[in-house]
Amino acid sequence: MPDTPALKRLANIDEDSAIDVLNRIRMSSVQIYNFSGYIVHMVKTYASTGSGSVCSSNSFNNGQEVQSVRFSDSASPSSSVSSSSTKKSAVYDSATSKQFFESPCRSKSASPAVNQYCTPISSNHGTRPQQQSSSLSCSSLKDAIPNYGPSVNHNVSPGVKQFINSPSPISKGVNTNHADQHFPTPSSSSYGCSPIQKKLFAPSTDPPTPNQINSTSSYILSQQSLSLSDLDFRKVFMVHSYVGSNKMEDVVSIEDAIKITSLKTMPMLDFEDWMWNKFGCRYCQPNDRSRYLDWDSGKTHLYYCYVRSDGGYRFKGPYLDTKKTHLQRAIGDENVLIVKFAEVEDSYNRMARIIYGRIAEAGILVGLSRYHLFVFKDGGKERQKNGKEDIKRGSSGGVKCYFVKRESNAHWVEKDTWLMNFKTTHELRCRFMHLHTVSSMAKYIARLSLILSTTIKLPVDLASVSVEEIDDIPCIDENGCILYDEDGERMIQTDGTGFISEDLAVLVPNDFHHAKYMKDKHFELCDLVQPEFGSAGHRGREMPIREPPLLIQCRLYKEGLAVKGTLLVNKKLKPRTIQVRPSMIKVKKDPSLSDTESFSSLEVVSVSHKPKAAKLSKTLIAILSIGGVPKKFFLDLLKETLEDAQRVCLDPRAAFRVADIYQHIDDSGICLEMLGACIPLSEPFLQHRLSQLAKEDRKGLGEGKIPISDSFYLIGTTDPTGILNSDEVCVVYENGQISGKVLVYRNPGLHFGDVHVLNARYVKELEDYIGNSKFGIFFSTKGRRSVANEIAGGDFDGDIYWVSKNHELLRHFKPSEPWTRSYSTPNAISKKPSDLSYEELELELRRGLFSSETNSSSAGIAADGCMAYTDRHLILQDDDTTHEKDVFVKNILKLIDLYYDALDASKSGKKVVIPNDLKATQYPHHMDRKPVYHSTSILGQIYDAFQSCKNEKLPVQEICKLHYFDISNVPNSCLSLWKERYEAYKQDMKNALNYNDISKNDAASSVIKKYKQILYGASDFKDTTRNIEHVYNEALAIYHVSYDYARKWNDIVKCGFAWKVAGSALCAYYRKIHCMNTGDREITFVTSAFDGVF
């Protein structure tokens, strides 16, 4: 059996030529001392005698006629080779390729060679490759290599294996813009091709695809790709990204590729700058630029591919992010390609989906690595959240696919072969969870997508953790009988919630929300968070010195088991224990795979935390109105909010309120610091910033997002004591448990009965479980039905509930009957994954690729229709005519059932279609949809009231200076120094703002950080070790330089440099002078002291 280098040589020439070489060696009478070395020598000799041709030797081959095929040249796939050429292959001539093809192994003899050629003609020219017939005695590599079998060394790249196993060297490309990226017959694994995949590339009567426009007669390794393979992957990807929508070989010449490869040791910051100036500025939009200052900070690298409806695609990235998924942690960022397919109009839907399906089957080639479809999820929620970012990156696709590297033809593939060693992609998926044990393909897809949640991994060895299964608590009737739903499933009270011991819960970072979603400028490696421990406690073990979070929403992966839900801290559990319920187990273990390694991990999605001030919503306002809350209540609430926003620049209380609420977007809370230093509200820059925060405060008011007092959002779970009755809850807030009546609701509830009135009570026994942990709502485990399920079909796997003890709402609201299903979408016929072959499984996966997008669309149609009918119902609320209202209510109830079905369709597999007679024909003007009617409902009135005042602007103020900051106290040397530095700052900031929209904020923050470091000799004023008087003098110099420049241009924004860089020092200096002049006492406070005050 030849060794790996020899197999690689054979894999890099056409199959017929490889067979030819092996046949001649087999028939040779020359004594061969090293079989593999002689193969290497012969391929090398043949390659060097012509333009990449494989040649014959009369002396070696006994005069037999030889057929041979040149190496493919992707830079010019249609060029033919002259039969009299004696030049070396251009592939072989490159420095990288020479190293790739040469081997230290040599045979004892070598023979001259004679050229014979096969000339491949590009299919773009309408002809097929012309080949001479061959008199070979064997028809495949299996015949040519003695004792050849499937047990090929795993260190051989999948491309080599593919080539050896391939029945034909002819393959298709995928992208009109990447015509060099031709495929060996694709596979869901690296071990050959399925009949389905062979069919993909067979002649078809289906609509033509880009694949059929560009084909070649041989497997292509472009000279540029071979050369660039020496680079780190992120640099290789950047090369492909910065050529835009062009084929890389059409833009990057061989000389360019060699030059780029020579930059392999260049820092990423400089490499990106060189690539942008050389290619990116010509072929990409400015906002496509991947420009960062902290390439080696440990952030997640995101690699994107955007696919157009015609099958063309382009790469973008790498982009840096602070968040990470379990998938990325387990296999590495560079092995994950995020693919987004463009949304298409209905008229092109079928053709686009055929093209998309073929791309998903064939995979996507990046350099020498091929990525195959691994998992996908509907991007409906993310599309709403990240819509602007998608527009910036050039896509609005609803389905986000994750492709994983499964094949590589790089010569360094031995360094990282484990990902390609899995026989099938399904086998790799089973390292995350044993997916074949689920009951349907819909669940297969939905459960696998759990690994796409952005999480923080807890630093715990799960092998030492006991994961116990405890029973769910069933719903029972008055006679003690267990109840079942319409699908015959047992109804349960504890859907999605379990327990975790205190020692494990305390491993969650102190400020989890900050750790997961922190701003780039504060980024740290959150996976390295270590627990805080105090002195030895119970049974000699170290006890945590802080309270753990009350609830942890998590994903648990252990030995093929996949768990989703919430874990309630339970001080009664023994250490290192997690208890899960059957309703939390989404994928069970397969006992036959007990010896297989898995990517075990405890991943935290979110934790219970102090909530922000709650707001109403359109839907909630509509339900409350139907429940009897008068219109005046909402209009007065809106009026008060608008007036408060308008008073922000005049009233200290209003100013403190918005400065406190929005300090996270206010340059590290500079407004709050200025107010705390007693800087007057009339200060121009403070006025400017407060007006910006007030504008932020008004956002969403027209959509019904009105702040409301005595209301908050809390994560839900069930009562572990069993004390609460079915109409009771226990609400644990900041200062302990709350008593009295409360309203409880859950988004996206649309039903009139989705707002419940419940009794909040104090449960002493609960403290034995949770201690002093806070912020959660506990529901009863008694009764015929879970209260959570009554509220929009909710559960306890992380759902957030709106809780209000607002007196006015409680006084007026009268609840409706809870939601019960009256119409159900029929169950879809679904195949069990365990009944499918690997090829069939991948086919079913691709078929389901866009069905989630269809259901997401159905959910949107149902929600819009429901809101339109509800608005008409609100208009007729005081009308005595009931017939029209009854029609609206009937339609609303049907749409609600369909809406909830569509939300759950990704797991149930149901295909939800909204009947035409239920679709709204007109929409109220507050929905901004056509055709439109002007609504007089409470929602329309709120919208109109907001529109009438949303554009009100404060009068422009004169840019004046504070008298405490007297310029006569500033040394001239400081003024001169900071005038020079200010000029440098303006240039630095100009450069930073030239970054793309995604990274320019990060770049601008780095510029501010640079000048703060210059001023303080540290990251901030509190950490400075410089002489404090020197710092004050330079801070005052910065102030005067900035304000003089702002006066010159009459632009208050230009004052920002002073407060962003020197704000803390200026506030400290102002406080000092103020206290000296007034006799006031200076005190220190923390920002959280204001929480709840306003």
pLDDT 10s digits, 472-492? 999 999 988 999 988 889 999
Least confident of 306-310, 376-380, 530-534, 695-699: 530-534
Average pLDDT over residues 256-284: 95
pLDDT band for 29, please (50, 70, 90 cuts).
Answer: low
4: left (phi over 0), alpha (psi -120 to 50) or beta: alpha
Sign (positive or negative) of CA dihedral 1007, 1009, 1012, 1014: negative
Q: Look at residue 153 in the predicted model and tell me its pLDDT.
A: 35
pLDDT band for 92, please (50, 70, 90 cuts).
Answer: very low
User: 826: how many CB neighbours lie within 10 A of its CB?
Assistant: 8
949-990: per-residue pLDDT in tens? Answer: 776 666 667 899 999 998 888 999 999 999 999 999 999 998
Backbone phi, psi, residue 525, to 5°:
-80, 100
CA distances from 745 to 510, 621, 700, 716, 819 (A): 29, 12, 20, 11, 12
Residue 613 has pLDDT above 60, yes or no: yes
Q: How many angstroms separate the CA atoms of 354 and 258, rounded?
A: 38
Q: Which residue has the higher pLDDT, 186 or 244?
A: 244
What does the domain layout of the chain look like in residue ranges?
4-149, 214-429, 455-526+553-607, 711-812, 967-1090
Per DSSP bridges, beta strands 561-570 and 585-587 are antiparallel
Q: How many angstroms separate the CA atoms of 785 and 236, rounded?
A: 56
DSSP3 helix / strand / coil % (the chain, rounded to 5): 45, 15, 40
Q: Look at residue 852 in the predicted model and tell me its pLDDT.
A: 62
Q: Look at residue 389 in the predicted model and tell me its pLDDT.
A: 46
Average pLDDT over residues 551-562: 96
Residue 138 has pLDDT above 50, yes or no: no
Q: Look at residue 25 in the predicted model and tell me its pLDDT.
A: 76
Q: Look at residue 409 in the predicted model and tell me its pLDDT.
A: 78
CA distances from 773 to 447, 913, 1007 (A): 31, 45, 40
Find residue 325's DSSP bridge partners: 454
1041-1050: per-residue pLDDT in tens? Answer: 999 999 999 9
pLDDT band for 376, please (50, 70, 90 cuts).
Answer: very high
Q: Which range in 779-783, 965-969, 1078-1082 is most confidently predicted, on average pLDDT?
A: 779-783
Average pLDDT over residues 1070-1084: 87
Residue 1078 has pLDDT above 60, yes or no: yes
881-935: per-residue pLDDT in tens? Answer: 678 888 899 999 999 999 998 888 888 888 888 999 999 999 999 998 889 999 9
Q: How many Å separate Cα 677 from the centre of its chain?
A: 41
DSSP for 372-408?
Answer: EEEEEEE-HHHHHHSHHHHHHHT---SEEEEEEEEEE
3-state secondary structure of 756: strand
Per DSSP bridges, beta strands 728-733 and 466-469 are unpaired
pLDDT band for 408, please (50, 70, 90 cuts).
Answer: confident
Q: How many angstroms separate the CA atoms of 36 and 106, rounded?
A: 9
What element of type H or E holds 1053? none
Find residue 375's DSSP bridge partners: 402
Average pLDDT over residues 325-348: 87
Residue 69 has pLDDT above 90, yes or no: no
Residue 49 has pLDDT above 90, yes or no: no
496-513: per-residue pLDDT in tens? Answer: 999 999 999 999 887 776
Q: Look at residue 890 in the predicted model and tell me its pLDDT.
A: 92
Residue 97 has pLDDT above 70, yes or no: no
Burial of 1060 (0-12, 13-18, 19+ CB in 10 A): buried
Backbone phi, psi, residue 317, to 5°:
125, -165
Q: Look at residue 60 in the predicted model and tell me its pLDDT.
A: 36
Per DSSP bridges, beta strands 601-607 and 800-804 are unpaired
Q: Look at residue 47 in the predicted model and tell me its pLDDT.
A: 61
Q: Which range in 415-429, 531-545, 551-565 is most confidently predicted, on average pLDDT?
A: 551-565
Q: Which residue has the higher pLDDT, 711 or 89?
A: 711
Contact, 558 vs 771, CB < 8 A?
A: no
Average pLDDT over residues 169-180: 38
Burial of 867-885, coded b for 16+ CB within 10 Å and e otherwise, reads bbbbbbbbbeeeeeeeeeb
Average pLDDT over residues 552-568: 97
Burial of 610 (0-12, 13-18, 19+ CB in 10 A): middle
Q: Look at residue 515 in the predicted model and tell me its pLDDT.
A: 57
Mean pLDDT taken over the chain: 79
Q: Which residue has the higher pLDDT, 1067 or 828?
A: 1067
pLDDT band for 582, please (50, 70, 90 cuts).
Answer: very high
CA neighbor of 411 nearest in space, from 635, 94, 645: 94
Strands (E), 349-482: 364-366, 369-378, 399-408, 454-457, 466-469
pLDDT band for 9, please (50, 70, 90 cuts).
Answer: confident
Residue 832 has pLDDT above 80, yes or no: yes
142-153: per-residue pLDDT in tens? Answer: 333 333 333 333
Q: Report the percent of the chain where pLDDT is more than 70.
A: 74
Residue 1024 has pLDDT above 70, yes or no: yes
Residue 789 has pLDDT above 90, yes or no: yes
DSSP for 62-123?
Answer: TT------PPP-TTSTT----TT--PPPHHHHSHHHHHHH--S---S-----EE---B---G
Q: Which residue has the higher pLDDT, 193 or 650?
A: 650
Average pLDDT over residues 1032-1044: 96
Least confident of 48-52, 317-321, 845-849, 999-1003: 48-52
643-662: per-residue pLDDT in tens? Answer: 888 888 888 888 888 888 88
Backbone phi, psi, residue 147, to 5°:
60, 25
pLDDT band for 63, please (50, 70, 90 cuts).
Answer: very low
Sign (positive or negative) of CA dihedral 770, 772, 773, 776: positive
State the architecture of 711-812 in CATH terms: Beta Barrel (2.40)
Q: Look at residue 580 in the predicted model and tell me its pLDDT.
A: 98
Task: Supply the Cα-derived Rg of the chain in whole angstroms.
Answer: 34
Q: Look at residue 647 in the predicted model and tell me its pLDDT.
A: 86
Residue 1076 has pLDDT above 80, yes or no: yes
Residue 1039 has pLDDT above 80, yes or no: yes
Q: What DSSP state is assigned to residue 124?
A: G
- HEC readout, 936-952: CCHHHHHHHHHHCCCCC
